[in-house]
Amino acid sequence: MDYKKYIESVMDFPTKGVNFRDITSLLEVGSVYRSAIDEMAEFAKNKKAEVIVGPEARGFVIGGPLAYALNVGFVPVRKPGKLPREVATVSYEKEYGLDELCIHKDSIKPGQRVLVTDDLLATGGTIDATIKLVKSLGGVVVGAAFLIELKALNGQRLLKDYDVLSLIDY
């Protein structure tokens, strides 16, 4: 399916000079959203994923339905203070400074096969931090899946050791 035709480009959002790729226009069309999740689910099945992990917030919109389609669990990765049990935390660099992500320490079992997912791969910082969290708990990252990849930002350089599925490239 040509998913690109369902993505709206919004110039100068969130700041001047940025061409924001809005996935909500794709999510609004149920058959297209389902097709995208089904395609990612096939990729995850081939990787024998046992659990799906996704960072907040748009990673939940992809990861939750993907886990449901596979009949496996979904593990959220969140900002500090958002998860109620004991967490593992990782700091990572963003465009404008440091940020942190957290995961419940008991959410991934050692040796468990994990597919990480998000709506968009840009510079790769968020997904790289997510992978570090999974690995810190003993999980085995079997791949990564995204709706969109912004090739010019070269996020794949941080994912060179993993199989990556991107449904749309810009």
100 catalytic, yes or no?
A: no
Question: What are the tens digits of pLDDT across the range 16-51?
Answer: 999 999 999 999 999 999 999 999 999 999 999 999
Task: Provide the pLDDT for residue 95.
Answer: 67
- H or E segment and range at residue 52: strand 51-55
Residue 34 makes CB contacts below 8 A (sequence gap 6+) with none
Q: How many domains does the chain have?
A: 1
Task: Provide the pLDDT for residue 53.
Answer: 98
Range of the domain at 97: 3-169
Mean pLDDT of all residues in the chain? 96
What percent of the chain shows pLDDT beyond 70?
99
DSSP output for 114-138: EEEEEEEESSSHHHHHHHHHHHHTT
Q: Rounded distance, CA 89 to CA 105, Å?
A: 9
Average pLDDT over residues 63-72: 98
Which of the residues 39, 56, 58, 113 is marked catalytic? 58
The CATH number of whichever domain residue 31 belongs to comes to 3.40.50.2020
Question: What are the tens digits of pLDDT across the range 94-130?
Answer: 766 789 999 999 999 999 999 999 999 999 999 999 9
113 catalytic, yes or no?
A: no
Which of the residues 21, 42, 86, 95 is marked catalytic? 95
pLDDT at 93 > cutoff 90? no
Average pLDDT over residues 158-166: 96
What secondary structure letter does DSSP report for 78? Answer: B
The per-residue b/e assignment along 11-21, b for 16 or more CB within 10 angstroms, e otherwise, is eeeeeeeeeeb
Task: Provide the pLDDT for residue 97.
Answer: 78
